[in-house]
Amino acid sequence: MTVLVTGGAGFIGSHLVESLVARGDRVRVLDCFDDFYDPAAKRRNLAAALASGQARLIEGDIRNEADVQKALSGPEPIEAIVHLAARAGVRPSIAQPLLYTQVNVDGTMVMLEQARRAGVRRFVFGSSSSVYGARSNPPFSEDDRIDRPVSPYAATKIAGELLCSTFTHLFGLQTVALRFFTVFGPRQRPDLAINKFSQLIRAGQTVPFFGDGTTARDYTFVEDIVRGIVGALDMPWSQYEAINLGGSQPVSLNELVAAIEVAMGRKAVLERLPDQPGDVPLTAASVEKALRLLGWQPKVGLAEGLVRFRQWLER
């Protein structure tokens, strides 16, 4: 299979590219190397896959039709797109809502339209658990309402899902939205809690701790997420689907800090701060649909995943 991965130099994308290369797929990566975090880190993420000769990098922006057309062109037609490129993060989206809309909504529309024109048959969209909003009754099912987002980031992901569904309905493009639940592991973005907390604890610095510690997240190891994406590329389907990929075991912020302390072998010094706008009290995935359609279940729990993350951090 020949696959285009947008955002393929990022955290999840680079792991996916390596997995596709390892199984013999031909991969093209479209990435703009924006400065949300160090572009050099993203280039390191992708180095091994590019060295294999089975992956090719196209530097460009998903909002630019010419860049996307360049990524889709070549001697072998693209059979599937995994669209992971996005402006990420709830809190930054509150500060820059226009940018998030331009990249995440306009960029997704460009990708879908160019996929349609190029005759691509399959489109996997990287969505988010944030689409469920500020719910507190677990587990979150794909049949639940998603019309009450509490951040611009969440709203852009809902919009992306609706665009995918529309393109399936109108044009027969096979689309699926995978709702990722708090992904962690090696190469995790530096702004995310596990990476940020681990780095601070390791350095003996204070850890920003928002709220009373009872907010909970469903942490999902990156290898499990990649297995789900590959499963979506391979599964037979003809209609739009939204599918949760989550660890299925919510962990409170208090429990997370304690688990990181065990993994790092050091105690955290907490700087207690008020709750942040846009944060939700809970994420908790029902993964019954993923099991039924993809044969997927999470395999790597939080404790094991934190050990693997620490090993990567200390390499």
- For residue 66, tell me if it sits in a domain: yes
- For residue 266, tell me if it sits in a domain: no
What distance in Å separates the CA atoms of residue 228 and residue 126, rounded to the nearest whole number?
A: 11
DSSP state letters, 183-229 = EESTT--TTSHHHHHHHHHHHT-EEEEETTS--EE--EEHHHHHHHH
Give the residue from 87, 79, 132 showing the smallest Cα distance to 107.
87
Return the pLDDT at 237: 81
What's the CATH number where 115 sits?
Answer: 3.40.50.720
- For residue 272, tell me if it sits in a domain: no
Residue 176 in tokens: 């699926």
Give the residue from 166, 165, 134, 136 showing the smallest Cα distance to 151.
134
Given a cut of 50, the residues of the chain with pLDDT beneath it are: none
What distance in Å separates the CA atoms of residue 232 and residue 81, rounded to the nearest whole number?
A: 11
Tens of pLDDT, residues 241-250: 999 999 999 9
DSSP state letters, the chain = -EEEEETTTSHHHHHHHHHHHHTT-EEEEEE---TTS-HHHHHHHHHHHHHTTSEEEEE--TT-HHHHHHHH-SSS---EEEE------HHHHHH-HHHHHIIIIIHHHHHHHHHHHHT--EEEEEEEGGGG-S--SSSB-TTS-----SSHHHHHHHHHHHHHHHHHHHH--EEEEEEE-SEESTT--TTSHHHHHHHHHHHT-EEEEETTS--EE--EEHHHHHHHHHHHHHS---S-EEEEE--SS-EEHHHHHHHHHHHHTS--EEEEEPPPTT--SB--B--HHHHHHH-------HHHHHHHHHHHHT-
Return the pLDDT at 103: 98
- For residue 201, tell me if it sits in a domain: no
Range of the domain at 168: 2-181+222-246+284-298
Catalytic residue among 132, 153, 219, 240: 153
Confirm if 81 and 115 have CB atoms less than 8 A apart.
yes
Confirm if 30 and 6 have CB atoms less than 8 A apart.
yes
- For residue 240, tell me if it sits in a domain: yes
- For residue 173, tell me if it sits in a domain: yes
Return the pLDDT at 136: 83
How many domains are there within the chain? 1
240 annotated active-site: no
- In terms of pTM, does the model score above 0.75? yes
- For residue 93, tell me if it sits in a domain: yes
Pairing of strands 241-245, 174-180: parallel
- For residue 106, tell me if it sits in a domain: yes
